A and B are shown apart, each in its own frame.
Chain A
Amino acid sequence: KAGVTQTPRYLIKTRGQQVTLSCSPISGHRSVSWYQQTPGQGLQFLFEYFSETQRNKGNFPGRFSGRQFSNSRSEMNVSTLELGDSALYLCASSPRTAAEQYFGPGTRLTVT
């Protein structure tokens, strides 16, 4: 079974721009979660989707948003980028609620 895939793997953007990251979960997994990883803050939860519904959201500003499609693929969007948004963004999928999560390779976002 193919793992979680994320595109693009690397991205360089300028302050004020917006960005969209994509995630394809493992086949059959309906839960998709997003995390931000930075050296200073570690791994922080952004949001979780199940069957196109956002069930939980982390403590991030409204500039961070996401969605899930009927095929379980998910996207996250960050608008009005700030330097502090530079991070590794990780997507994870899960076969059921509160179970183990399987991570993709991440998208490395650099904001200049």
Chain B
Amino acid sequence: GNSVTQMEGPVTLSEEAFLTINCTYTATGYPSLFWYVQYPGEGLQLLLKATKADDKGSNKGFEATYRKETTSFHLEKGSVQVSDSAVYFCALIFQDSSYKLIFGSGTRLLVRP
């Protein structure tokens, strides 16, 4: 079946460190891919998206590239801030009749000053 796998957390980094959160997917077709972020006590915020192979999504210093050959969509940021501490979810949706987002289990990021 279609699924999304994320690296286990928590990921603990010092401020200004480089961030990578791995995400791989299993899919029978070519989905659109997303990263969402959830801050404590809040809903999910769309962070970035990519709709086809080799697309790079970017927002607020975060980037992710849709790699069809490795079925991956890893999230990166060059210099994290304490305010980036949150849970990050990788997700996919198909361009067909399923209409639903399939999420990974989430990766908690903790950035220390």
Contacts and interface: CB of A to CB of B under 8 A. Distances in A.
Given A103-B43, A104-B43, A105-B42, A43 B99 contact: no
B94 A98 contact: yes
Interface residues of A, number: 25
Contacts, number: 59
B46 A102 contact: yes
B98 A100 contact: no
B44 A90 contact: yes
Nearest to A43: B103
A55 interface: yes
Nearest to A54: B99
Nearest to B105: A42
A10 to B, nearest CB: 11
A97 B103 contact: no
A56 B101 CA distance: 12
Interface of A: 4, 6, 31, 33, 35, 42-43, 45, 48, 50, 55-56, 58, 90, 92, 97-106
Interface of B: 32, 34, 36, 42-46, 49, 89, 93-103, 105-106
